[in-house]
Structure 1
């Protein structure tokens, strides 16, 4: 039978290592979360797309939305891309990027109804749908 003091020391060590492990797990999860969020911001956030040059625009049949298309030139090493920006005409002209496709330099925009727009063959229900070639 072990003396009572040795049992208490072992229990205290075990509790200390459990706390230390919990701290390392929490710090590790926070680090992974921050790195993941940084990657999302750097590579996948549609609000950080290049502006581009104005190409064309079409307004929805009810006048609630306007979709503006911009062509971006990535330089000598990348192809052109089309960015589609949805303009909320009734909400102080608030904007939202809803379309981003690589290797395109023209934008064919048609509204099939008040809330559905077709951009270069991709149908989107506005204002919630988005098309981003990076997520395909």
Structure 2
């Protein structure tokens, strides 16, 4: 009986883990975003970071989107997506200090903050 309970417990945890990963992959993983066409870039005042902005045309049925990619200039140009917004086809990037960037009116503290329109209320 204990083996049966253990089997179903492990199986249940495995199924929950797989479902959780699929939900994350499908709805939260910003590294799966479309590349888009390069639009502009701005480097932080201290040269530590660069934000590269790309505009994506989703076709006739969806609006334009903007993707902002943070480049770590001092770490072999490692990149991380930090901005994804729907309904934008232009990009305005400005740095208010070495670690704070404003992208189309959204203020982000890099490298930890992100903006993703899919998860805004």
Q: TM-score range by the shorter chain?
A: over 0.9
1:54 maps to what in 2?
38
Instruction: Find out whether 1:89 has 2:68 as its counterpart.
Output: no
**In 2: Cα distance, 1:41 partner to 1:26 partner:** 22
Unaligned runs of 5+ in 2: none
Q: CA shift at 1:22, angstroms?
A: 2.8
**Structure 1 or 2: larger helix share?**
1
Q: Does 1:39 align with 2:39?
A: no
TM-score, with structure 1 as normaliser: 0.84
Q: CA RMSD in A?
A: 1.1
- 1:25 to partner: Cα distance: 2.2
Cα distance in 2, alignment partners of residues 38 and 48 from structure 1: 13
Q: Which runs of 5+ in 1 are unaligned?
A: 1-15
Q: SS of the residue aligned with 2:26?
A: helix
1:82 to partner: Cα distance: 0.4
Task: Name the structure 2 match of 1:121.
Answer: 105
Q: Secondary structure at the match of 1:26?
A: helix
Aligned to 1:76: 60
- The structure with the larger Rg is 1
Number of aligned residues: 120
TM-score of the two chains, using structure 2 as the length reference: 0.93
